[in-house]
Every structure is written in structure tokens, then in C-alpha cells.
Amino acid sequence: MRTLICGSFAFDRIMVFEDRFKNHILPEKVHMLNVSFLVPTMRREFGGCAGNIAYGLKLLGGDPVAMGTVGEDFGPYAEWMDKCGVDRGHVTEVPGTFTAQAFIVTDLDDNQINAFHPGAMTFSNRNKVSDASDIGLGIVSPDGRDGMIEHAEQFHAAGIPFIFDPGQGLPMFDADMLRKLIGQATWLATNDYEWEMIAERTGMTIEEALGQLAAIVITRGKEGSTIHTRDGRIDIPVVSVEDCQDPTGCGDAYRAGLLYGLANKLDWQTTGRIASLMGAIKIAKNGTQNHRFTMDEFHGRYRAEFGADF
């Protein structure tokens, strides 16, 4: 099933400061902060929610169609997508802009200082869901605000079932808009903190939200995840990981697993387990698109973890 993945594309520039920020920031001088950190190592990763989800779904043998807006510097990322076989026919270049950029500096205590430039992501509403043909499933993941709102409306109007995944875009929406987006979506995917924010902002309970949604999927980090449906609650265990390298992008990998299960009409327990395994495979690698597997390897790992196959 062709799955339309609406969301961001970004370059993540990850740097390590081989000291501790606290040794160079004077608390009594934060009102006039002027610091510089030497970062001898830096790596550039391909990221952004649409890129990450599409990558993961392609690994699973799905048929992702990525949709997003990028800048004039997107060339290396485009080459990577082509190498991975991910359809980028609806990735639109916006002249005079940069692709979204995240600059992340981490110190020896794992504290981070981040700067994010949205760049072309701001123009995501230039793309229309109707631009893509033969779409049977979709997701609205973090992107420019107008794009997220319009793409949700377009999925709903076209009768295409889709996941609403507000993620880090959640602060952009007030209570009324959140209620509208949830009402248009088929499924909602959040982490536990995001769900608490939604519940507090809208006043909605799980039960009330399920009056409009077919399912609510809530990830809980090392505690696994929970899928709430109108038939009850399904707890999905976390998959054990021997070498936890980098949690960045695990949520996107999990969502790729959700989309795979939905596209193949699998039951929720199986779908959740596939998603959980995807997150575990990702966390063992630095970066968001550096994990690899064959489907034979994936099935083997799934059997080893859950004592069954799909």
C-alpha cells in the first residue's frame, strides 16, 4: 500500500564538547552570556520526521511516498533517498531557502544546547495531499504549522485514513485546533509526555478521544508502549537492547512500524511489537538513518523476542 508521509526533512549537525558546560557558564553572568565551545568532532546526519519514517518503512518493505519542503542544499540528502529507494517525487525544493537544520552540541554530562532553523519547512503547505496518487494510508508528522493543518484537512476530505503525530510541533496548536486535528485523524500517536499535554490542554480523556479515533498509541520509553482502542488496552513490551547508542529518531522508527502494520492490516498487538522492535533496532545505532536489516533478520529477531512470527 502506498503510504504518504507528510513531515519535515532536516540535516542534523551533531557536535561533542569534550568538557562540561557548567565549567564555562557562570550562573551570575547568564544575563550577559557570551561563550564559545570548541567541538573537535562533528557529524552530519540525514534527519527530519518524514525522512526518518520513510526510511524505516522502506526497510520493512513498505511503499513510502515522502512529502515535504526542502532547500537548495538538499542534494546530498536526495542522493541518499535515491540510494535507499525512497520515493521523493513529492519532496519540493523552495528556492532561496535552506533545508531545515538542527545544530546540537552535547557535553560530557550529556547536556545539550540545540539551535533549530526551520528553513524550507515553513513552506510545507505548498504541497497538497492530492498531488500524490494511489495513496491508501498517511501520516501527518511534525512539520510547518500550516502544512500540518492543511494536510490533515486534505487527508480527511479525501477519506484517506491517517495517523496524527504532533510530536515537537505540539506547542503550535491551541486546544481548539488540537480537537479539530484529532477529530479529523484516524489514529493518534504520541509519547506519554505529549499525551499529558494534549489531555491538559483539551480536557480530553482517553475515553473521550476514542470517541473520535480508532486508536491512541502512547510510547513510554523504557517502559514500552500502550495502544488504546475501543475494545480495550494493549500493553506492548519494550525490546531489550544490549548497546543503547542514540535515542534520537526512535519515535520515528516506531511510527514506521505502526504504518507497516496498518498497511498490512495486522492486529494491534503484532503492529505494536513490530513498532517496538523498530525502535530497539534504531537505538543501537547513532543517527536516525544508519540502522540496517534484511526482512529475514527482522523476522528472526521478532521470533526471538516474542516467540512468534507475523
3-state SS, 153-201, equals HHHHHHCCCEEECCHHHHHHCCHHHHHHHHHHCCEEEEEHHHHHHHHHH
Query: Are residues 101 and 10 in contact, defined by beta-carbon separation less than 8 angstroms?
Result: yes
* Residue 220, burial from CB neighbour count under 10 angstroms (0-12, 13-18, 19+): middle
Whether 202 is in a domain gets the answer yes
Share above pLDDT 70 across residues of the chain, in percent, rounded to a whole number: 100
Q: What is the mean pLDDT of residues 34-61?
A: 95
pTM assigned to the model: 0.94
Domain that holds residue 157: 2-9+47-99+121-306
- As a residue count, the chain comes to 310
Whether 64 is in a domain gets the answer yes
Q: What is the mean pLDDT of residues 249-261?
A: 97
Residue 220 has pLDDT above 80, yes or no: yes
Whether 228 is in a domain gets the answer yes
Residue 30 has pLDDT above 80, yes or no: no
Here the CATH number for the domain that contains residue 294 is 3.40.1190.20
- Residue 189 has a pLDDT of 98
Rounded Cα distance, 216 and 229, in Å:
7
Rounded Cα distance, 101 and 119, in Å:
7
Share above pLDDT 90 across residues of the chain, in percent, rounded to a whole number: 87
Whether 134 is in a domain gets the answer yes
Whether 39 is in a domain gets the answer no
Whether 110 is in a domain gets the answer no
Rounded Cα distance, 135 and 130, in Å:
9
Count the domains in the chain: 1
Measured from the Cβ of residue 67, the count of other Cβ atoms closer than 10 Å reads 31
- Segment among 27-31, 217-221, 306-310 with least mean pLDDT: 27-31
Measured from the Cβ of residue 58, the count of other Cβ atoms closer than 10 Å reads 18
Rounded Cα distance, 154 and 141, in Å:
14
Rounded Cα distance, 190 and 200, in Å:
14
- Residue 25 has a pLDDT of 87
